[in-house]
Amino acid sequence: MQASQAIEAGLRAIGDPERAVQGKAYLKSEMVHLGATMPELRRVVRAQLAALGKDRARFVEAADELWAPGIYELRAAAVIVLTRGAKLLEEADVPQVERMLRESKTWALVDPLSTDVMGALVVRLGLADTLDRWSEDDDFWIRRASMLSLLKPLRAGGGDWDRFARYADAMLEEKEFFIRKAIGWILRDVGRKRPALAEAFIAPRTHRASGVTMREVVKVLPAARREELMAAYRQGSPA
């Protein structure tokens, strides 16, 4: 039995119909749900990873086979497979990652695909042209992915701050919640190690930022400055 078939069989065996209904409702999902928990899902996938060895083609093929049925837990397993094989992936695999992002339609798949899979490719290969294109895509999930693909190095204290700042500035006034949230989330995480950098970005833009973005970024700033920034936001003026 192939790894993807064994993973699917394992997830179907542990699925819980009641939990499936709850999960589908929570994610507002149009996909079929089996009702496996994430710890169970990870355990089932881990048991099959050895069968994939260090063969890039096997990782890519297994992920594609798990993705194809359109079942949430199988797609989540596909993301884990690609995450575990991320060091093996090449630029030729980016179109598959992009296709999966476009077909995800939920943060629960988009976010790990962006941060763990595409993010790893960006660290190794750059892929600036791809991210620039994504940042202007009509699909807000792809625009979100352009920013989240930069997150991990930024969170660690490095990364391509200028590129993120450019994307965030262009998207700052968007009405889409998941864009607003992503900007605030990344600024918050940057602010944990580099609060001055996050503050310098948001202060002249408080009149343009959403409440969602503002509430996230100020969480890690000193209390006094937090109040000043939120006051400027409420007044509709730069801080």
**Is 1's pLDDT higher than 80?**
no
Q: What is the pLDDT of residue 112?
A: 98
Tell me the angle at which helices 177-193 and 140-148 cross, rounded to the nearest 10 degrees. 10
pLDDT of residue 203: 98
Please give the C-alpha separations between residue 166 and each of 1, 141, 183, 206, 207, in angstroms, as whole numbers: 47, 18, 11, 16, 17
Cα(28)–Cα(47) distance, rounded to whole angstroms? Answer: 30
User: Quick one: average pLDDT of 84-103?
Assistant: 97
CA-CA distance, 120 to 97, in Å (whole number)? 12
pTM: 0.95
pLDDT at 89: 97
149 φ/ψ angles, rounded to the nearest 5 degrees: -65, -15
**CB environment 92-117: b (16+ within 10 A), e (fewer):** ebbebbbebbeebbbbbbbbbbbbbb
User: In degrees, to the nearest 5, what angle opens at C-alpha 165 toward C-alphas 204 and 82?
Assistant: 150
Mean pLDDT of all residues in 121-148: 98
What pLDDT, in 10s, does the model give residues 171-183?
999 999 999 999 9
5 band by pLDDT with thresholds 50, 70 and 90: very high
Domains assigned to the chain: 1-88 (1.25.10.90)
**Is the pLDDT at 97 greater than 70, yes or no?**
yes
List the structure tokens of 123.
Answer: 């660290």
